[in-house]
């Protein structure tokens, strides 16, 4: 870990301004992913801006009948919130499917969205990785790729986004609120937040340098059955091989997003309309352009099978 | 003391302390965080500097040059020692790969430098500043491909053959010929390898995390090219080993070099992401098993061949050994092949040989039983043998595999096993499986010194280690039983090279051997007391804190006098293990659920029945077994070091990538010990149990998954991707 | 930023002059963005560990785990992986369990930290420690302090009705069951495999509490 200076931000605007003016600065909130990566010098900020004191730890009702979740709300608190449990059960379910009790107590809403891939080649600084060192190559292609993406990949990167929470937020059509370095504010639909790798896998979101997520907005509750099904090798404390987040109405219509298969939470709106026609029809649309490495071929079947289980559970 | 005739009645048989469920005597220290592990030693007068290792970034080749100028100038840096500075060292007797020194790179993350700084943070940051230029060489990293050029290993008996296997196999009415694979596995003990080294002139003190004090001391002396007597090594608490801390590791060597260069005590812990490729692992195996059986279930022909790989100079994973002893059958053969691989060093991990061997053999037995049409418990009973099948004149000292199978079947409710794929609860396909457990009982010379002081306190000193096995407690129990005192009057000091050399912890020989050493030392102490008092040695009794002979009795404290008395001895072993085959036995029963949609396998019930001689402490012995069962769950379902065959290393080299079982994977576990003793084994009449508990577990799970799904997987770990193709289609 | 941090910056590690620092101290938060380059690589902090006030001057990079182990010699908290993958470093902060390896010491100014040493002593065990001894909920002992700290805080999480992955009904009271305990304890790896006994120990403590 390289030496860094440290400050506790006193205002959102000040924090964003410092970050925008200094390419070596990073925000730190829970720190559970950033410090992990700093120890390995995969992240090497020269300055840390601690944003824990900005009062962004509240969950409030919005005038539109939705919910505004402060960026610094801890994963545990978000999962345990009564309104979230009642109206956005999918979000609670996705949160508690991730990480461990200890990590959820520190990890924040914005930090969870911005966590980086767990690709083991990204994590080993001796190995080529376009995401870590642009232009060096992708070791996962042709290497150990059982956990890697099967859709939206590029020749430069086949990493997945590891978040469970993001899958739920994508299903729920959340909106990200942010402040840019110049103090201006904007809203970003969750669908647009994460990028596909393309030729620049090192750029993972549409956030500008210094741009700071302040909150996540949930629209009005959807009703229906909320199901988050995470499939993994061990029973807990593991990243998803495949996960399915779905909200399904009594008539069988609904919406679905999939985790563990792409560089971002994967949702294809056209696939939602296939839900009443069953898992096969839905996954055919969801995974229309799927491309496996061989080692991760099983994920394509697994999405369909998991989707089948979710649809059956919604009926049951 | 030489143990060369079967044990008769001795003071241990009183079972006032031995055999009792006494909680660990180090429990209070461990649960309050006061037990001090290697990296934790501190003294207010000594400020340790911090060493941080750098590993090779390539798998095979030479270091062309190392530029340490930036690292040396980095804040807080006291010294940088490179492999080139250290030069090629003599290698320790037990190591295959070099730990440090010279320009040769034999495997990925082999240690090539240590940076010493005032703080951990400074040392870690500076280690990244070292620039290394390599000449990379082509290596061999793919076991399957390397088998083409594999050779017979140089170990004493790579092959065995009795009768006419090929002929009997051809003639058998029911046959099985299948190939099984087990992956490379990681010990993944919770405490990373760690050492503190402090020089005083030419004398070296090392606090470390070692299973085998004397092996480490010898090999450290060799590696540093110094007199063994000038090394003082201590390892009083060890945060798990499982074979990964049997042999000297780089942390101790780097700490010693770093401390010499920095002229300060230096502490080095291997960072977790570095540890996996830097240290040893259990090698992967490719196994072929052929079995021929009569229609009545009798095995007539059995063959087990195994191939594995290692660095040049290394050895094979002896996965065929149990097949020479476990089942009857007149015609048999085993063979091993060893390939050259330039992956990190393969070496012992808990139950080396038997653990991966039984992962294959006990699936094969399940398969042939099914082909014959006989219940798998019954099939194993039919093929039991009470003699070494290769040398029928050589009996087992004691063998109750049948008892384990029968009792286990009864307690588990085995009768209920249905046809494959026939039981379903909701989305779970339910199945049960069984496997035999088998592990040889080894003994090792073991010494101890026992002192009885003027306060009546018994103090035991031995370089034996407690890696979680319960050595502190069973040694205290042994001394208490022998000297006729309660356990709270016994103080145990372990893991120090100043103490008599013991068996150490490995090969499940530790408990039986080390307590036998303490037994021998206590016999000496009893003799000394008897002699001092002029008591008649024929009728002397040590009991209730007193020594008694005829109508004379004396409190022990008074008997030894104010200066106390000492007994010291080493237990040595005669040829009873040659005349009699000494092994431990068990049966594992498992119930699994397999998710019909996703193929996720989860364990629902586990039972182990073990026949392992006298159980010295049912609490610590049971913990050994449940722990081994847990490791078996990992072996069955998730553990695999993924090899990158292009770059030559284990890719998933941390605890996120290499998935060992977590709480949620493990149900309540049942363990039953057969009430038995083995007088051929030792005066303790005990045998090992820590490795037995692992042997067969993974196969029982594999068999249960087959029973649940009808899908037979012969390649571990049995992950969902291997299963879903065979599961019912989604509706 | 906190003005106190400026006063305590170690001079030898300051990048710029003391005068600049003082000026920023007066300017306060509004000038924080300009003060970046003038700040230090070490920070003085004050927190409470096991009900005892402690003052430290640490490298900013120091994790809470290393502050406890290397600076305060509270070595009961263990370093198993240093990357949030094992749980051996679990401590309790203001009632909540966290991985002390993935948080900076300097982010805990003013916090109240409980480590294994603060739960009980060898001659005065916390009920959870006593239950671990009784049920042999450990072997090598290295993950044990983390398991114990985690289990104490975990029971409090159930009491606070925080849901888990295995909670059936998100809108009902969470029950203390073996399945809930296993799921919630899964962030604490025990390679010796004492899980079955650990769950027995926790159930005993939970039962006597109820």
Interval B19-29: pLDDT, tens: 999 999 999 99
Are residues B412 and B487 both part of a single domain? Answer: no
Task: Dump pLDDT digits (tens) for B225-267.
Answer: 999 999 999 999 999 999 999 999 999 999 999 999 999 999 9
Which residues, 6 or more positions from B200, have their beta carbon under 8 angstroms from its beta carbon? none
Burial (Cβ within 10 Å: 0-12, 13-18, ≥19) of residue B668: middle
Q: What is the pLDDT of residue C33?
A: 39
C-alpha distance from C102 to closest chain A C-alpha (Å): 5
Q: Which residues of A touch C186 (CB under 8 A)?
A: 100, 235-237
Instruction: Give chain A's largest Cα–Cα span.
Output: 57
Q: Which residue of B has its CA nearest to A236?
A: B664
pLDDT in tens, C108-167: 999 999 999 999 999 999 999 999 999 999 999 999 999 999 999 999 999 999 999 999
| Cβ pair C75:B37 closer than 8 A | yes
Interface of B with A (CB under 8 A): 57-58, 75, 121, 124-125, 128, 273, 427, 595, 597-600, 602, 637-638, 642-644, 646-647, 651-654, 656-657, 659, 661-665, 717, 719-721, 724-725, 727, 730-731
- Percent over 90 (pLDDT), chain B: 97
B149: burial class by Cβ within 10 Å (0-12, 13-18, 19+)? exposed
Interval A242-288: pLDDT, tens: 999 999 999 999 999 999 999 999 999 999 999 999 999 999 999 99
Q: Tell me the average pLDDT across B426-438.
A: 98
Say what the pLDDT of residue C209 is: 54
d(CA C200, CA C196): 6
* Angstrom distance (rounded) from CA B37 to CA C178: 31
B27 and C80 within 8 Å at the Cβ level: the answer is no
What is the C-alpha separation between B630 and B623, in angstroms, rounded? 10
Residue A236 has its nearest CB partner, among B597, B654, B664, at B664
Assess contact for B524 and B493: CB atoms under 8 A.
no
Residues 6+ apart with CB under 8 A from B165: B290, B301, B302, B303, B331, B332, B333
Rounded distance, CA A101 to CA A237, Å? 9
Q: Which residue of C has its CA nearest to B670?
A: C196
Question: Per the CB < 8 Å rule, is A32 touching C60?
Answer: no
On whether residue B382 sits in a domain, the answer given is no
Name the closest residue on chain B to residue C142, using Cα atoms: B239
What domains can you pick out in chain A, each with its CATH number?
5-52 (3.30.43.10), 232-315 (3.30.390.50)
Using an 8 Å CB-CB cutoff, list chain B residues near A237.
662, 664
* Whether residue B464 sits in one domain with residue B600: no
Q: Is residue B449 domain-shared with residue B554, that is, in the same domain?
A: yes
What pLDDT score was predicted for residue B674?
98
Residue B677 has pLDDT above 60, yes or no: yes
The residue ranges of DSSP E strands in chain A, in sequence order, are 5-8, 25-28, 47-50, 59-61, 67-70, 175-179, 185-189, 212-218, 225-231, 242-248, 254-259
Contact call for C99 and A106, based on CB within 8 A: yes
3-state secondary structure of B27: helix
Is C42-206 in CATH node 1.10.150.120? yes
Helix/strand/coil for B43: strand
For B40, the closest of C66, C75, C123 (CB atoms) is C75
Do B422 and B539 lie in one domain? The reply is no
B158 pLDDT band, cuts 50/70/90, is confident
Question: Residue B295 pLDDT more than 50?
Answer: yes
Interface of B with C in 251-310 (CB under 8 A): 269, 271-273
- Judging contacts by C-beta atoms under 8 Å, the chain B residues touching residue C132 are 27, 31
Residue A169, min C-alpha distance to chain B (Å): 23
Helices and strands in chain A, H and E counts: 12, 11
- Distance from first CA to last CA of chain A, Å, rounded? 51
Sign of CA dihedral A34, A38, A44, A48: positive
Model ipTM value: 0.98
Cis amide leading into A53 (omega within 30) = no
Give the three-state DSSP class for B481. Answer: helix
Q: Identify the closest residue of chain B to C166 by CA–CA distance.
A: B664
Interface of A with B (CB under 8 A): 1-3, 39-41, 118, 120-121, 123-124, 126-127, 139, 142-144, 146, 229, 231-239, 241, 278-280, 298, 301-302, 304-309, 312
Compute φ and ψ for A213, nearest 5 degrees: -75, 125
Contact (CB<8Å) C150/A102 = yes
Contact residues on chain C for B192, CB-CB shorter than 8 A: 79-81
Average pLDDT over residues B686-715: 98
pLDDT-derived band at C3, boundaries 50, 70, 90: very low
C88 and A CB contact within 8 Å: no
Helix, strand, coil: what percent of chain A each, to 5?
A: 30, 20, 50
Residue B619 and residue B564 in one domain: no
| Inter-chain touch A17–C33, beta carbons under 8 Å | yes
Are residues B424 and B450 both part of a single domain?
Answer: no
Question: Three-class SS of residue B359?
Answer: helix
- Asked if B351 reaches chain C (Cβ–Cβ under 8 Å), the answer is no
Which residue of B lies nearest to C141 if distances are taken between CA atoms?
B30
Cβ-based neighbour number of residue A156 at 10 Å = 20
Cβ–Cβ gap C178/B273 under 8 Å: no
CA distances from B250 to B72, B120, B209 (A): 21, 18, 12
The interface residues of chain A toward chain C in range 179-208, judged by CB-CB distance below 8 A, are none
Cβ proximity of B187 and B241 under 8 Å: yes
In this structure, chain B runs to a length of 731
**Euclidean distance between CA atoms B594 and B610, whole angstroms:** 27
Instruction: Say whether B626 and C197 touch across the interface (CB within 8 A).
Output: yes
Say if residue A297 is exposed, middle or buried (CB neighbours under 10 Å; 0-12, 13-18, 19+): middle
The reply to whether B420 and B524 lie within a common domain is: no
Contact C36 A14 (CB under 8 A): no
Of B518, B544, B573, which residue sits at a domain end? B573
Domain C-terminal end among B516, B540, B573:
B573
What sign results for the dihedral spanned by CA atoms B350, B353, B357, B358?
negative
Instruction: Specify if B400 maps to a domain.
Output: yes
Distance between CA B357 and CA B366 in Å, rounded? 14
Q: Name the β-bridge partners of C42.
A: C59
d(CA B19, CA B622) in angstroms, rounded, equals 12
**Residue B337 pLDDT > 60, yes or no?**
yes
User: Of B32, B469, B663, which has the smallest distance from its Cβ to C116's Cβ?
Assistant: B32
CA B681 to chain CA centroid, Å, is 20
Asked if residue B417 and residue B473 are part of one domain, the reply reads no
Check whether B494 has a pLDDT greater than 70: yes
pTM equals 0.96
- Residues of B with catalytic annotation? 691
- Report the sign of the C-alpha dihedral through residues B687, B693, B694, B695, in that order: positive
Q: Residues 77 to 96 of B: which have CB under 8 A from any C CB? A: none
Task: Spell out which residues of chain A touch residue B600, defining contact as CB-CB under 8 Å.
Answer: 231-233, 235
Which pLDDT band holds residue B731 (cuts at 50, 70, 90)?
A: low
Is B449 inside any structural domain? yes
Q: Which is it for the CA torsion B61, B67, B68, B70, positive or negative?
A: negative
Q: What average pLDDT does the segment B663-668 reach?
A: 98
Task: Yes or no: say if B366 and B327 are a contact pair by the CB < 8 Å rule.
Answer: no
> Which residues of B are less than 8 Å from C116 in CB distance?
31-33
Could A234 and B662 be called an inter-chain contact, meaning their C-beta atoms sit closer than 8 Å? yes
DSSP secondary structure of B641-696:
PPEETTTTEES--STTTS----GGG---EEEEE-----TTT-TT-B---TTTTTTT
Domain of residue B490, CATH code: 3.30.365.10
Same domain, B550 and B625: no
B637 shares its domain with B689: yes
Q: For residues B562 and B640, state if they share a domain.
A: no
> Using the beta-carbon criterion (under 8 Å), do A3 and C30 form an inter-chain contact?
no
Q: pLDDT at position C190, please?
A: 98
Looking at B573, B602, B625, the residue that finishes a domain is B573
Position B517 in a domain: yes
Q: Which residue of B has its CA nearest to C191?
A: B189
| Closest in C36, C96, C164 to A96, CB measured | C164
Among positive and negative, which fits the CA dihedral B347, B364, B672, B659?
positive
> Is B68 a member of any domain?
no
The DSSP line for C56-92 is EEEETT-BHHHIIIIIS--TTS--S-SSSSS-TTEEE
Q: State how far the Cα of B677 lies from the Cα of B687, in Å rounded to an integer.
A: 9
Same domain, B639 and B677: yes
Q: What is the mean pLDDT of residues B618-627?
A: 98
Place B386 in a pLDDT band, splitting at 50, 70 and 90: very high
State the smallest CA–CA distance between residue B286 and chain C in angstroms: 26
The DSSP output letter for A182 is T
Domain boundaries, chain C: 1-39, 42-206
Q: Which residues of C touch A101 (CB under 8 A)?
A: 97, 150, 153-154, 157, 164, 184-185, 187
Residue B125 in contact with partner chain C when CB distance is under 8 A = yes
Provide the domain limits for residue B598.
394-439+582-726
User: What is the tally of structural domains in chain B?
Assistant: 2
Q: Across all residues in chain B, what is the average pLDDT?
A: 97
Residue B38 is predicted with a pLDDT of 98
* pLDDT value of position C29: 37
- Average pLDDT, integer, range B425-447: 97
Q: How long is chain C?
A: 210
Question: What tens-digit pLDDT sequence spans chain A (316 residues)?
Answer: 999 999 999 999 999 999 999 999 999 999 999 999 999 999 999 999 999 999 999 999 999 999 999 999 999 999 999 999 999 999 999 999 999 999 999 999 999 999 999 999 999 999 999 999 999 999 999 999 999 999 999 999 999 999 999 999 999 999 999 999 999 999 999 999 999 999 999 999 999 999 999 999 999 999 999 999 999 999 999 999 999 999 999 999 999 999 999 999 999 999 999 999 999 999 999 999 999 999 999 999 999 999 999 999 999 8
| Neighbour count for residue B592 (Cβ, 10 Å) | 30
Q: Which of B647, B665, B724 sits opposite A235 (nearest CB)?
A: B665
Q: How many inter-chain contacts (A to C, CB under 8 Å) are there?
A: 144
What helix, strand, coil percent values describe chain C, rounded to 5?
45, 15, 40
Give the contacts of B639 (CB within 8 A, at least 6 positions apart): B183, B185, B186, B658, B659, B660, B717
Task: Name the average pLDDT for chain C.
Answer: 85
Size of interface A-B (CB pairs under 8 A): 105
Q: Do B239 and C185 touch (CB under 8 A)?
A: no
User: Which residues of chain B are within 8 Å of residue C144 when distances are taken between CB atoms?
Assistant: 30-31
pLDDT given for residue B81 in this prediction: 98
């Amino acid at each position: 870990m390289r030496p860094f200076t440290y400050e506790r931000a006193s205002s959102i605007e000040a924090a964003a301004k410092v970050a925008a003016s200094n390419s070596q600065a990073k925000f730190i909130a829970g720190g559970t992913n950033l410090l992990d990566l700093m120890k390995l010098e995969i992240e090497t900020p020269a300055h840390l801006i601690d944003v824990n004191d900005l009062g962004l730890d509240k969950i409030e009702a919005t005038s539109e009948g939705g919910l505004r979740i402060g960026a610094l709300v801890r994963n545990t608190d978000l999962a345990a919130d009564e309104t979230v449990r009642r109206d956005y059960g999918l979000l609670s379910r996705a949160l508690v499917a991730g990480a461990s009790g200890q990590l959820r107590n520190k990890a924040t809403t914005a930090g969870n969205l911005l966590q980086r891939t767990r690709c083991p080649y990204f994590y080993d600084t001796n190995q080529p990785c376009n995401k870590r060192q642009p232009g060096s190559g992708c070791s996962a292609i042709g290497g150990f790729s059982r956990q890697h993406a099967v859709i939206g990949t590029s020749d430069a990167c086949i990493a997945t986004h590891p978040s469970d929470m993001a899958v739920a937020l994508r299903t729920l059509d959340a909106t990200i609120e942010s402040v840019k370095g110049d103090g201006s504010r904007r809203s970003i639909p969750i669908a647009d937040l994460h990028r596909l790798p393309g030729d620049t896998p090192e750029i993972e979101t549409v956030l500008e340098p210094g741009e700071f997520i302040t909150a996540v907005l949930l629209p009005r509750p959807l009703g229906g059955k909320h199901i988050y099904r995470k499939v993994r090798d061990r029973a807990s404390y593991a990243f998803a091989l495949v996960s399915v987040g779905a909200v399904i109405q009594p008539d069988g219509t609904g919406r679905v997003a999939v985790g563990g298969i792409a560089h971002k939470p994967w949702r294809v709106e056209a696939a939602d309309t296939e839900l009443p026609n069953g898992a096969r029809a839905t996954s055919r649309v969801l995974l229309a352009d799927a491309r496996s490495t061989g080692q991760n071929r099983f994920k394509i079947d697994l999405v369909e099978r998991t989707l089948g289980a979710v649809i059956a559970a919604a009926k049951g | 003391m030489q143990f060369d005739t079967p044990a008769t009645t001795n003071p241990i048989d009183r079972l006032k302390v031995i055999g009792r469920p006494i909680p660990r005597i180090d429990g209070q220290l461990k649960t309050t965080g006061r037990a001090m592990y290697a990296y934790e030693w501190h003294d207010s007068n000594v400020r340790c500097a911090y060493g941080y290792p750098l590993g090779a970034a390539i798998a095979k080749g030479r270091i062309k040059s190392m530029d340490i100028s930036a690292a040396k100038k980095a804040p807080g840096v006291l010294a940088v020692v490179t492999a080139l500075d250290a030069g090629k060292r003599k290698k320790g007797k037990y190591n295959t790969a070099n730990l440090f020194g010279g320009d040769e790179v034999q495997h990925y993350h082999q240690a090539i430098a240590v940076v010493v700084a005032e703080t951990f943070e400074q040392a870690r940051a500076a280690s990244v500043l070292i620039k290394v230029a390599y000449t990379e060489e082509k290596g061999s990293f793919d076991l399957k491909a390397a088998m083409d050029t594999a050779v017979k290993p140089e170990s004493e008996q790579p092959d065995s053959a009795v009768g006419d296997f090929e002929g009997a196999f051809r003639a058998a009415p029911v046959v099985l010929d299948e190939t099984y694979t087990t992956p490379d596995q990681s010990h993944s003990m919770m405490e990373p390898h760690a050492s503190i080294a402090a020089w005083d002139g030419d004398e070296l003190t090392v606090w470390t995390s070692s299973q085998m004090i004397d092996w480490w001391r010898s090999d450290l002396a060799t590696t540093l090219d110094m007199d063994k007597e000038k090394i003082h090594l201590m390892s009083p608490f060890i945060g798990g080993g499982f074979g990964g801390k049997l042999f000297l590791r780089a942390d101790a060597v780097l700490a010693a070099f770093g401390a010499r260069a920095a002229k300060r005590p230096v502490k080095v812990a291997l960072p977790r992401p570095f540890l996996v490729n830097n240290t040893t692992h259990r090698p992967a195996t490719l196994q072929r098993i052929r079995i021929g059986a009569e229609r009545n279930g009798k095995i007539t022909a059995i063959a087990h061949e195994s191939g594995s790989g290692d660095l040049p100079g290394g050895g094979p994973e002896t996965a065929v050994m149990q097949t020479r002893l476990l089942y009857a059958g007149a015609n048999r053969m085993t063979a091993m092949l060893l390939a050259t691989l330039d992956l990190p060093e393969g070496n012992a991990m808990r139950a080396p040989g038997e653990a991966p061997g039984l992962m294959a053999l006990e699936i094969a037995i399940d398969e042939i039983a099914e082909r014959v049409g006989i219940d798998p418990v019954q099939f194993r009973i039919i093929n039991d043998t009470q003699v070494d099948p290769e040398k029928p004149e050589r009996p087992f000292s004691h063998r109750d595999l049948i008892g384990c199978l029968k009792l286990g079947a009864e307690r588990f409710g085995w009768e209920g096993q249905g046809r494959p794929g026939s039981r379903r609860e909701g989305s779970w396909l339910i199945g049960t499986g069984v496997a035999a457990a088998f592990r040889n009982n080894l003994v090792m010379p073991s010494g101890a010194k026992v002192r009885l002081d003027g306060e009546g306190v018994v103090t035991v000193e031995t370089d034996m280690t407690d890696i979680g096995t319960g050595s502190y407690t069973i040694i205290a129990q042994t001394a208490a039983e022998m000297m006729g005192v309660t356990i709270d009057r016994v103080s145990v000091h372990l893991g120090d090279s100043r103490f008599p050399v013991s068996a150490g912890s490995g090969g499940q020989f530790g408990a039986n051997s080390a307590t036998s050493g303490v037994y021998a030392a206590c016999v000496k102490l009893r003799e000394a007391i008897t002699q001092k008092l002029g008591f008649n040695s024929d009728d002397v009794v040590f009991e209730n804190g007193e020594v008694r002979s005829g109508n004379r009795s004396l409190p022990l404290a008074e008997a030894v006098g104010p200066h106390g008395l000492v007994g010291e001895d080493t237990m040595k072993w005669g040829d009873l293990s040659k005349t009699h085959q000494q092994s431990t036995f068990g049966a594992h029963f498992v119930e699994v659920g397999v998710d019909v949609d996703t193929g996720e396998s989860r364990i629902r019930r586990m039972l182990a029945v073990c026949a392992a001689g006298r159980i010295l402490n049912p609490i610590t012995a049971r913990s050994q077994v449940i722990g081994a069962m847990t490791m078996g769950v990992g072996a069955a379902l998730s553990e695999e070091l993924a090899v990158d065959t292009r770059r030559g290393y284990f890719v998933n080299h941390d605890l996120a990538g290499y998935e060992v079982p977590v709480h949620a994977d493990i149900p309540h576990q049942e363990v039953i010990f057969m009430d038995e003793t083995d007088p051929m084994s030792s005066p303790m009449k005990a045998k090992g149990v820590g490795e037995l508990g692992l042997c067969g577990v993974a196969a029982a799970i594999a068999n249960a998954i087959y029973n649940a799904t009808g899908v037979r997987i012969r390649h571990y770990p049995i992950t969902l991707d291997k299963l879903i193709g065979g599961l019912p289609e989604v509706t | 930023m906190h003005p106190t941090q400026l006063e305590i910056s170690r001079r030898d590690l300051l990048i710029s002059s003391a005068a600049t620092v003082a000026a920023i101290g007066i300017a306060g938060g509004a000038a924080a963005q300009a003060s970046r380059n003038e700040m230090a690589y070490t920070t003085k902090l004050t927190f409470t560990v096991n009900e005892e006030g402690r003052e430290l001057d640490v490298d900013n990079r120091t994790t809470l785990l290393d502050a406890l182990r290397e600076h305060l010699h509270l070595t009961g908290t263990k370093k198993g992986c240093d990357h949030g993958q094992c749980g051996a470093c679990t401590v309790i902060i203001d009632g909540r369990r966290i991985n002390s390896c993935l948080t900076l010491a300097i982010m805990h100014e003013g916090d109240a930290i409980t480590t294994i040493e603060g739960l009980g002593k060898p001659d005065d065990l916390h009920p959870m420690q006593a239950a671990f001894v009784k049920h042999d909920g450990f072997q090598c002992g290295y993950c044990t302090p983390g398991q114990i700290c985690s289990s104490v805080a975990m029971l409090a999480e159930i009491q606070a009705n925080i849901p888990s992955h295995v909670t059936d009904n998100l809108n009902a009271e969470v029950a203390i069951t073996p399945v809930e305990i296993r799921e919630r304890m899964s962030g604490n790896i025990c390679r010796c495999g004492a899980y079955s006994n650990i769950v027995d120990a926790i159930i005993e403590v939970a039962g006597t509490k109820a």
